[in-house]
Each structure stands twice: as structure tokens, then as C-alpha cells.
Amino acid sequence: MPFNAAIGLAISRDGGESFQRLGDGPVLSYSPDEPFLLGSPRIRKFDDRWQMWYVAGKEWLRTSGKPEPVYKIRMASSANGVDWVKHGKVLIADKLGPHECQACPDVTICNGKYHMFFSYRDIHNYKKREGGYRIGYASSEDMVNWFRNDNLVDIRLSETGWDSEMVNYPHVFVLDGETYMLYQGNEMGRTGFGLAILDKSEELASR
């Protein structure tokens, strides 16, 4: 494989001005069912436990003469944010077939229901409009079993401009009673990023 990755931990003791690694190794690394490319961690604290959604490599495929990884969304939990227990399953069903790549899952909760926004793309032509990243959506009652329905996300490609080839890497947050999503555009955000606001007529609780 041409490259690899694992998930590390750095700690700040000065309010985020500087960070130091916890140690020389990762806090979440490879295992028999997750053999390579652990990354894109997103962490939230629900039910007094830290929950991490991340991606793990599944296989390498040769496309256009070079190897490309296929990776899927998975989950781990922790009581202290350092020692993690993997749940050992792929969470999101494929839409584009078994070689769909999924990334950057961000989970929020509304009225007791969990909502995940994530990126997905084809294994082919993913740097162009044809196969580039889109934003998907899934919901869950227990954080482990997810029902996917991308039609409930209305973040579409523009005809021209900074987000005409892909939209990706969503982050959802609440500010002053409104729910917002930050997301990136073409070339994995090189051309810019956008801000979307939840339509009050389409509240997350109703999904």
C-alpha cells in the first residue's frame, strides 16, 4: 500500500494555544477487520461517554493505473477519551455500490434521535464532478444502527463556481438557536467552503 494512517491524540493544557502528543503511538490503530487507513475522527459526548465516528480502509483497487483505497464509516466508544473500544461494524449502507468511499461523519442529536451527515464518493473520477464527493445523511435511535436517506440533505452542486464539482466534509453546529452546517467545495475545499442553515420547516426531529 502506498500510504497508511492511524488516529492519534494530542492534549492542550493552555486553552488550545498549544498541543502535545499523548505518546509516540496512536490511540486507535489497525486490527484484523480494519487493516489500514484509520482517520477522519469526529468525537462527541453523548450519555456520559465519548463517541468517535471515523473511517477505516477496506481494500485497495487499481484505478487509472494507480491504487486507490476504499474506506467506510465505523464507530468506537470511550469512558475517558483515551482508551477506545471499537464497535466492529460498518455503519452506513452503500449507495454507489461496494466501492463507495465514505468520510468525515459528523453526528448531532435532536429530541432523542441521532443525525449523521457525512461525505461519500465514487472510487472513479472523484476529483471531478462525475464522481466527486456529495453529502449524505442517516438517522439512528441508538448511534449504532443507521437508516440512510440522502434525499433529506439539500446541499446540491452549483452549475459553476467553487462548489460545482463536489461538496464534502460537513460539520453541524447550533448557534443562537439556529442549526448550521459548514462544508467544503471543489478540490476537497481548496476553492472555498460554504455555510448552510437548517430550514425550520424541515426540522431534524421530524426526520
206's CB contacts (< 8 A; 6+ apart) are none
The more confidently predicted of residues 37 and 111 is 37
State pLDDT tens for residues 33-65. 999 999 999 999 998 999 999 999 999 998 877
Q: Quote the percentage of the chain above a pLDDT of 70.
A: 96
pLDDT at residue 99, as a whole number: 94
Q: What is the pTM of this model?
A: 0.91
- The set of cell numbers assigned to 110 is 435532536
Q: Report the pLDDT value the prediction gives residue 29, as an integer from 0 to 100.
A: 94
Amino acid at 202: E
pLDDT tens digits, one per residue of 136-174: 999 999 999 999 999 998 898 999 999 999 999 999 999
Summary mean pLDDT of the chain = 92
Rounded Cα distance, 162 and 169, in Å? 15
Cβ contact 123:58 at 8 Å? no
Q: In angstroms, rounded to a whole number, what is the distance separating the alpha carbons of residues 106 and 12?
A: 23
What are residue 154's phi and psi, to 5 degrees?
-110, 50
* CA-CA-CA-CA torsion sign (59, 61, 66, 72): negative
Euclidean distance between CA atoms 186 and 40, whole angstroms: 18
CA-to-CA dists, residue 179 to 35, 68, 108, 110, 202, angstroms: 36, 35, 10, 11, 11
- What would the pLDDT profile of 185-204 be if each residue is shown by its tens digit? 999 888 999 999 988 755 55
